Structure 1
Amino acid sequence: MKKDTVIIGFMLFALFFGAGNLIYPPTIGIEAGTSFWAAIAGFVLTGVGLPVLAVAAVSFVKNDARELADRVHPLFGLIFTSLVYLAIGPFFGIPRAATVAYEMSIEPFSGQTSLLLFIFTTVFFVLVYTVSMNPSKIVDRIGQFLTPILFLAIVILCLGGFVLLESPTVSPIDKYASAPLFTGFVEGYLTMDAIAALAFGIIVVNAFKDRGIIEGRELVKATLKAGIVAGIGLTAVYTSIGWMGSRMASEGKFSNGGAILSRSAEMMFGSFGALLLGVIVALACFTTSVGLVVACGQFFHKLTGLSYNLIIAFVTAASYLIANQGLNTIIQVSVPVLTFIYPIAIVLIILTFLNRFFGGARTVYLGAILLTALVALYDGLAAFGVEMPAITSVITYLPFFSIGLGWLVPAIAGGVVGYFFKRKATISYSN
């Protein structure tokens, strides 16, 4: 495998490995208990498999993810892609990364104060903006320098977990006792990586183009190989820190995955463990934030024609303001939005790879996305606490609804109906 592929793969690993990747696997581990392996397998499907496919999907088009969404309808492409970039950027993704970095690298040593959060996020976003100003250097700065440091720190922490954490696993909580694989699958939504991949994909594609790989098939292959490099690293890390969480159930109750990791690091290495975890978190969240700012800057620059530097200034400023609202507020608002966006993104990614089998017919995209969006909208509103008893009494009959995949059969049905209309229109035209 070429050196450039490995370097770009490392960059992609660092871009993906951010706040959600740290705080969710340990929670799965502690909650899934003896069902850990099935649960983490489901998590990896959405937390690793889908992002790798999404990055490869972007390499099929000439520009960015909007070109994929335009296959449904140009207006849908504009609205959905903008929503994706805003969600993974200034609204949720970047502020979450900054607040997780604060809570896991500063707060353990100093306690929680709004003044410290303000100071930390000020320094954090000044650095993010500075690095993001020159996107052509992002591969060298992240892929060659920051990622090896990040990966080394993670390896030390994970090896310590396998050797030093000896507490037995316990029985899973209810949702992991009945369907651990599918519960883990839905939990993978919260990483935001599949939709982030729609943004990161163009960074990877441009990195390969800068290295002279511009032919379609070769570009797809190179992008997929870089995705596999990142995917192997992510799978290893998710499994390791999730397994660490499964060994912490006997240590009491924890508020979130960050608290689980902090306690396990302290148990293994004392104060050095807290420092090591702080380095991991700060680097992981910083590299992800840089990647998201660059992706948002490039997308909205192309969309609006405004200066790239002006846009990233706006993105970092908005992220800075939202980050200072605190992690709990960000998570509370983001979950319903991600519940709506994620199924649509999954279906769009899958259709991209099946495109040649139905000739790219817009009716297939329309049918599949429309029915997916209707169910996803219900799920999102329900997650917001909106009660819809009349709709609920009907929609609960959908297959797989109880495990969070109620959109699956409607998506397939919509695609099949769309294909039928495509064939019918073709036959009518030929006659």
Structure 2
Amino acid sequence: MKVKVLSRNPDDYVRETKLDIQRVPRNYDPTLHPFEVCREYTRALNATKLERVFAKPFVASLDGHRDGVNCMAKHPKSLSTFLSGACDGEVKVWNLPKRECLYTFQAHEGFVRGITVRFCGTSFFTVGDDKTIKQWKMEVPGYGEAVEPLSTVLGKTVFTGLDHHHRDGLFATCGQQVDIWDEQRSSPIRSFSWGVDSFSSVRFNKVQTELLASCASDRSIVLYDMREAAPLKKVIMTMVSNTLCWNPMEAYHFTSCNEDYNLYTYDMRNLHKPLMVHEDHVSAVLDVDYSPTGAEFASASFDKTIRIFPKNEGHSREVYHTQRMQHAISIKWSADNRYILSGSDEMNIRLWKANASEKLGVLPPRERDVTNYRKKLTEKFKHFPQIRRIAHHRHLPKAIYNQAKELKEMKAARRRKERNIRLHSKPGTIPILSEKQKHTVSVVS
């Protein structure tokens, strides 16, 4: 004879408290809860308001530089190590958890134009206005030990950008041309030029590591393959791009920051128009860096703000600013996807939370469950007008608010003028161009 026995786990019925309070089973049949949607909407509205109340993104500042912070670099193996270079030629190595400088040394005469860490993290390279490339060891020097470069290469012209290969002992510099260097040699193993006066930045692809891209002074973005003898493609835009960053999760996508206040995400397989135009800044965008997940990127601008953009949206989800922060020159997203570091003109490095309302530290299980529940509710009701208004509202400095309002009026006037010209012209003579098509002049292969 077969006997069936009911078996129940007591953990399913006892709450996570010291008292033996019995958990009440609940029937989720919607017919039994006619007011559930109303209750969830109210909870979502309260969760959205609380998120804005607790949105305090600023974490700390790293003081110590005596001039503007011109460039920064992350350590590929250590979350706590961070490097920065200033306009007076000084380089600092920081310990982020302790918020203190490990050591400082004079690396160059004049600006430090670029700084990058070797893929294994044992050393790093710097370039400056004194036409030199220097390699330094990452270890903290001993007491009384002078900081001397491991190697020095003297170039013919000023170097304006630097980036290291993500797998091999190679690095790239840019100036009057783009050079590929081997760490063991004092002369470049390959040079690329395409009728351009100078280049402002160069970046290796993090997935397809043989690919790299650079921003040139003739308003172009040039793509290269180290296995080829000549550059691959060049896209010419209406204004100059300052720098770019490859998406770490999508090998063929990159985002460039431009002097026309916008950022442009391109697919290198089709450069005739960008995938997305990211607006909101009211001055030139100077630097951009992707998050490790590739879903978002942060930008630093001359308008004294930094913004966080989702990769598939045209407007920013966050804008960070302080009363004392001046022109933001450089920006980096930490490798754990939780923090953003920005360097600005007034000699300061600031540490921000990537999620402004995130609570730092270890959360108890019940608090973590409540946080996840609120996040799901706000995501469910995010398109409701009142919730959308509260979630998108940001307080801006008066100057930026007025300038954004003026830019909006200027764009509306241009659209109105174009519409009137088309209305009084022969049909077909004035083509209708989308916002994505307006900023790309030509593509040269």
Q: Which TM-score band applies after superposition, normalised by the shorter structure?
A: under 0.3
TM-score, normalised with respect to structure 2: 0.24
Tell me which protein shows more helix as a share of its residues: 1
Larger radius of gyration: 2
TM-score, normalised with respect to structure 1: 0.24
